[in-house]
A = this chain, B = another copy of it.
Amino acid sequence: MAAQRGEGDGVVTRPGETGTEAPADVRERARAIPEAAVARLAVYLRVLSGMVEQGVTTISSEELAGAAGVNSAKLRKDLSYIGSYGTRGVGYDVEVLVSHIERILGLTRKHSVAVVGIGNLGHALANYGGFPSRGFPVAALFDIDPDLTGVPVGGIPVNHIDDITTVCAEREVSIGVIATPPQAAQAVCDRLVSAGVQCILNFAPVVLQVPDYVEVRKVDLAVEMQILSFHVARRADEAAGDVVNGIGVDGVVIRP
């Protein structure tokens, strides 16, 4: 399989296409895109951005799919949700695709981010270069520790969490990132919500209770580890159990 060396972050070149609001047909489409496809579009976008930097101008569904780790039928289906921007017999124009995906993902607007909880993870997030360069400027940091208040992290001074509501409203934060200990997460979440934040990325291992109109995405390390653990166990069991179809041996199981 062609090992496209996927470049990571990079400046997204956005041709023309200034801050227009979405026209009716885009609006229509966005409604219909499956959640799973949205996640993949973001991946395609990154791969494509890497292509732009390498000077690639055209790409086939097969190539792009390979680089993104999906099969080509799925890729074409995903792209078809956002419109028909390919050329039969040829492939897709990389820049065209980039700009359309960006538009669908709403990346033509800036989305200010607030990070709450400036521990190890919060530091990592505040310093994460991938955010600002991709249209997600970190506009505010919060922590409960008064000693941190005012100290700049990644160039932004830390505020006290008591000020979440006012500061977030002031700076028009649209995405809140919760990187606090679990005990604090729900309270922080409530404050974010009352500041008008409608999208939350939650790193705390808690199930947040929010109003219906708030979108929460969870990143749960323990859960990820446990899913992996499950697979380890399943494999060990399969190996220990009977050989079913064409299964390898000596610890390395082939074909689940």
CA distance A68 to B21 in the complex (A): 37
A253, chain B: closest CB distance, angstroms: 6
Flag whether A171 is at the interface (Cβ < 8 A): no
A219-256 CB mask vs B (1 if < 8 Å, else 0) is: 11111111111111111111011101100100111111
Near B by CB (< 8 A), chain A positions 19-63 give 21-22, 24, 26-27, 30-31, 33, 35, 38-39, 41-43, 45-47
CA distance A231 to B252 in the complex (A): 42
Known: A67-B207, A207-B6. A231 touches B254 (CB 8 A): no
Copies held by the complex:
2
Decide: A207 and B68 in contact? CB cutoff 8 A: yes
Decide: B106 and A242 in contact? CB cutoff 8 A: no
Decide: B231 and A130 in contact? CB cutoff 8 A: no
Q: Which residues of B contact A123 (CB under 8 A)?
A: 120, 124
Flag whether A111 is at the interface (Cβ < 8 A): yes
Flag whether A92 is at the interface (Cβ < 8 A): no
Decide: A130 and B221 in contact? CB cutoff 8 A: yes
Which of the 9-residue segments A8-16, A140-148, A157-165 touches chain B? A8-16
Decide: A9 and B128 in contact? CB cutoff 8 A: no
A220, chain B: closest CB distance, angstroms: 8
Flag whether A170 is at the interface (Cβ < 8 A): no
**Contact partner of A223 among B11, B39, B69, CB < 8 A?**
B39
Q: Which residues of B contact A109 (CB under 8 A)?
A: 229, 232-233
Decide: B17 and A231 in contact? CB cutoff 8 A: no
Q: Which residues of B contact A135 (CB under 8 A)?
A: 229
Decide: B256 and A183 in contact? CB cutoff 8 A: no
Near B by CB (< 8 A), chain A positions 198-223 give 198-201, 204-209, 212-213, 215, 217, 219-223
**Contact partner of A43 among B7, B43, B207, B213, CB < 8 A?**
B207
Q: List 9 A-B contacts (CB under 8 A).
A: A21-B237, A30-B233, A41-B226, A42-B223, A42-B227, A107-B226, A109-B229, A111-B228, A201-B224
